[in-house]
Chains A and B, each alone.
Chain A
Amino acid sequence: MMQATEPRDALRGFWQDLKFAPHRIYETAFRGGPPTTDRTRSTFVFGNVFLHLHSVRTHRWSLKWTATLGLGIMSLSAFLITLVTGVMLMFYYKPYPDVAYESIKDIHFVVPTGRFMRNIHRWAANVMVVAVILHMARAFYTAAYRRPREYNWLIGIGLLATTLALSFTGYLLPWDQLAYWAITIGANIAQSPREITDALGITEYFDPGGFQRLLLLGSDTVGAEALIRFYLLHVMILPLVIAALMAVHFWRIRKDGGLVRPADADQRLASCREEETYPVFTEAPEKTYQLAAIVKGRTAAVGRGPENTVPSMPHLFYAELGVLMLTLFLCVALSLVSDAPLKELANPNVPENPAKAPWYFLGLQEMVSFSAFMGGIGIPAIALLGLALIPYLDRETEGTGEWFGGPGGWPLVRFSVVVGLCAPLTIEAFAIRFGWLREWFPGIPQLVITLINPATILTAIYALFSLWSIRRFQSTRAGALALFTCFLCGFVVLTVIGTYFRGPNWVFYWTPADWPAH
């Protein structure tokens, strides 16, 4: 009899197990259980490979929306949106001259939701550029780059450069007139060190400019080779680079002790909502923490309650999801009101007039209209180098974590805005009205124009103003505040002039209505 019943029980057990399999799969995937207590909220974070870039608990200062404005998460959200929509576009896009244009046309007019996907992709890329620049400004104005976050600031500069490179490489892919001539100009900017080597007469022996251009285009004109290179950079190399940099960037936030906050953040927060931040370790620990003993610095917080922190799940994660939804909403809304442009098929014999780069490069294009090398390579290199050096020159501590903190503060920033706006406007007005050296002295050597042109003079004025601020306030931070504010203002002024006030032949016009018919 025993023999007869056993198979039936095993069979029933099998059915039981089968019935509970989905539940058990869920249980084994999310071992900690629902995040309802402090303990399970912790396991929810550190038991998850994606979430554990966050710390388990978050300081309440970091959750104030004025602390970050959510700009970092906004940049990430925009990147994720471009990632998803970009992969969708890859189903139809074909990177070969002329065929590329046809495939974008197909995506725009034939493919289901194709135009919508392309619009979102394009708008998310623009939102990402804006968010990254604003995020950098936030980190700068709250002095978040200071010890121990210097290195993360450098990673951030790398992320800014990669973001711009991603946008720029994507600009060629439609293979229309706009794309073709913007990339021709871009590739020739890469070649512009020749302006110096030609002037010195050494191009024959030493030609870094020509090498850069050849490497970028794979040929001596923008053609099939250039398109496949830009495509490869856009969909493979640069996304991998940016993903690696992002991983380091986020990880370092946690390793550097969370987001920046003022030294007296705890006192400032103490007044409100005591009940939410009850201490976690209510009694001194009984065991010794051997591993903690080898950790240097102030990381181990044994026996000390993490005051003024709240569990990251749900407080931080819900805030992040909120920013993600807001970014998505912004991109979708913009996509509904404005289509991504597509001009006529690229024609290598007739340049677009005016041929304009993407908007965030129009400030550069304004500068290259004075000198290709200085505007396109020299001054951007100086600006990036200056940005990278900021945390290593400003070793002060006053005002860390506060908006416009440090000597000089908001009044200095306000004054810098005035200087930062007036200087480029005056120089541009002068150059537009009276021309520049070559109009006055036709035989002038190129090297003189390369060194003395509106863009280099603007840079010099900004540098002198920054030095004056260091002396006036006896503080490097004051100099940095002045220089960074000027840099942002100059970027805005030149970009606006390049975008709205330059017409055919890069001539100044008040409105496009004044453009000559052609």
Chain B
Amino acid sequence: MTLRPQPSRSRLEPEPVPRRDWLGWSSLSAMAGALLFGFIGMIRMPKAAVLPSPSKKFKVDLPDNLPAGEPFVPPGRAVAVFKDADGVYAISLICTHLGCVVKATPEGFECPCHGSRFHADGTVARGPAPQPLPWLKVGASGRAVTIDEGAAVRTGTKAAS
């Protein structure tokens, strides 16, 4: 038998023991897995299941003499309600760019934050807004109108009153 010269090892760099290395590696992996699962469960907490904001659906009485094409903004809501010969419709006033409340003007809507402009039907005229202002689901009976801010409808959808 010939002796092969072994590289000298100190106690600081011991010979590897594959079985021990594997056991160590697997127990560390088990621990990391357990912690990871616990962590995933934990970060579920900050994502609210129920949103504390007020109801998106609301009911409002339109003013009697609302001229056609004039916006009516119910107090405390970022919605403009219009009434014309075809019926009642509502356009959201929340800018699709970065969420500022747009102002209704004779030409349409303009956003004070980054200068987006919208036509009277909510489509983008200029500026950085990526989407048109959404039209909202409306139900009308006489003067009373129900509006659902959470439900967008196709542009041009009007509710006959």
Contact = CB atoms under 8 A, between A and B. Distances in A.
B124 A438 contact: yes
Contact of B113 (A371, A435, A506): A506
A368 B111 CA distance: 14
Contacts, number: 97
Interface stretch (B29-37, B126-134, B136-144): B126-134
Interface stretch (B15-23, B60-68, B96-104): B96-104
A372 B128 contact: yes
Contact of A220 (B47, B51, B76): B51
A189 B130 CA distance: 13
Interface in B4-62: 12, 46-48, 51-53
Contacts of B130: 195, 198-199, 371-372, 446, 449-450
A372 B97 contact: yes
A405 to B, nearest CB: 39
A504 interface: yes
A189 B95 CA distance: 13
Contact of A369 (B46, B115, B125): B115
A351 B128 contact: no
Contacts of B125: 442
Contact of B98 (A185, A225, A507): A185
B48 A219 contact: yes
A184 B98 contact: yes
A221 interface: yes
B76 A185 contact: no
Contact of A438 (B99, B113, B127): B127
A122 B133 CA distance: 37
Nearest to B150: A220
A505 B112 contact: yes
Interface string B75-114: 0111000000000000000000111110000000011111
Contact of B100 (A184, A189, A214, A224): A184
Interface string A157-191: 00000000000000000000000010011011101
Given A198-B130, A219-B48, A225-B52, A351 B98 contact: no
Contacts of B51: 219-220
B101 A349 contact: yes
A120 B55 CA distance: 41
Given A184-B100, A189-B98, A505 B52 contact: no
Residue among A220, A439, A450, A505 with most chain B CB within 10 A: A505
A215 interface: yes
A185 B99 contact: yes
Nearest to B119: A442
Contacts of B53: 219-221, 223
A374 B160 CA distance: 42
Contact of A188 (B98, B127, B131): B98
A370 interface: yes
Contacts of B47: 211, 214-215
A369 B52 contact: no
Main DSSP-derived SS at the A contact region: helix
Interface residues of A, number: 48
A353 interface: yes
Nearest to B78: A349
Contact of B76 (A195, A198, A349, A369): A349
Contact of A504 (B48, B78, B112): B112
A355 interface: yes
Contacts of A446: 130-131
B101 A506 contact: no
B128 A368 contact: yes
Contacts of B12: 294
Interface in A367-407: 368-372
A415 B84 CA distance: 62
B112 A355 contact: yes
Given A220-B51, A351-B113, A435 B101 contact: no
A225 B100 contact: no
Contacts of B76: 349
B143 to A, nearest CB: 23
Nearest to A294: B12
A351 B112 contact: yes
A350 B78 CA distance: 9
Nearest to A375: B128
A62 to B, nearest CB: 33
Given A224-B52, A368-B128, A370-B128, A351 B100 contact: yes
A506 B128 CA distance: 11
Contacts of B77: 349
A450 B128 CA distance: 9
A512 interface: no
B114 A506 contact: yes
B115 to A, nearest CB: 4
Contacts of A187: 99
B121 to A, nearest CB: 13
Nearest to A435: B126
B48 A185 contact: no
Contact of B112 (A214, A354, A449): A354
A185 B113 CA distance: 9
B14 to A, nearest CB: 14
Contacts of A181: 100, 113
24 contacts: A184-B99, A187-B99, A195-B130, A198-B130, A211-B47, A219-B51, A224-B52, A349-B77, A351-B112, A351-B113, A352-B112, A353-B112, A353-B113, A354-B113, A355-B100, A355-B113, A369-B127, A371-B130, A372-B98, A372-B128, A438-B124, A446-B131, A449-B128, A505-B115
- In order of increasing CB-CB distance, the 6 nearest A-B pairs are A353-B112, A188-B99, A188-B98, A369-B114, A506-B115, A446-B130
